[in-house]
Amino acid sequence: MSKDKEVLLNEEIRAVEVRCMGDDGTQYGIITRNEALAKADELGLDLVLIAPDAKPPVCKIMNYGKFKYQQEKKLKEARKNQKIIEIKEIKLSVKIASNDVNYKIKHAREFLLEGKHVRFRVFLRGREMANPEAGEHVLESLWPMLEDIAEREKTPKLEGRYINMLVTPKK
C-alpha cells in the first residue's frame, strides 16, 4: 500500500455497518455499507472512510478528488511558509593573523545581517591537538566583535579535529 492509498474508498471499505454523514453535514446515522455506497452513488460522490478505528467506523460521502486536492493545497501552503535556515561556515586556524580575523569577521557580520547562521571552525593541525585551548582562545577573541548583532548558540566545543562555535543573528 503506497502512502497516498491510506484512505479507503467505496468498495475497499470492509466494515458491515458504518456511521455515515454527508459532505454538507447531513447525518445518515448507522447504516450498512451497501446502503452507504448506494447513497454515495445516488449523489454521484465517493464513500470515504474517515475514522476506521471508531465503533462503528465513520464514513463520509464526499468528492474524493476535491478533498485530496485541498489536502495537497494545504500541504503546499505549509511548505511555502516554512523558513529554511542557512548556515554559513567560516574556517580559521590557531595561527591566524589579526588582519585575516578582521576580514573573516566582516564576512560573518554580512551573513548575520542577512539572517544567516554562522559556524566558526578552528582546524587543529598536528601538535595543536595537544593544546585545543588555543583554538578555543581564537574563537573567544572573535566573540566580542560580534556580540552586538549576534547571539551565541553554542560555546566553543571540541569536535574531532575542529573546535566549533555557532552564532545566530539577534532577534
CATH number of the structural domain spanning residue 55: 3.10.20.80
CB contact at 8 A, 163 and 121 = yes
Identify the burial level of 53 via C-beta atoms within 10 angstroms of its C-beta, where 0-12 means exposed, 13-18 middle and 19 or more buried.
Answer: exposed
Number of domains in the chain: 2
> How far is the C-alpha of 116 from the C-alpha of 42, rounded, in Å?
57
Nearest-angstrom CA–CA distance, 165 and 158: 9
Cα dihedral sign, 26-31-34-38: negative
Which stretch of DSSP H or E encloses residue 91? strand 87-93
DSSP H/E element including 68: helix 64-80
pLDDT in tens, 121-154: 999 998 888 988 998 999 999 899 998 999 998 8
Residue 163 has pLDDT above 90, yes or no: yes
Task: Report the CATH number that the domain containing residue 152 is assigned in CATH.
Answer: 3.30.110.10
Same domain, 123 and 55: no
Residues 91 and 148 in one domain: yes
Domain that residue 59 falls in: 3-67
Q: Indicate whether 1 pLDDT > 50.
A: no
Does a structural domain hold residue 75?
no
Query: Of 67, 97, 121, which marks where a domain is finished?
Result: 67
Return the pLDDT at 117.
93
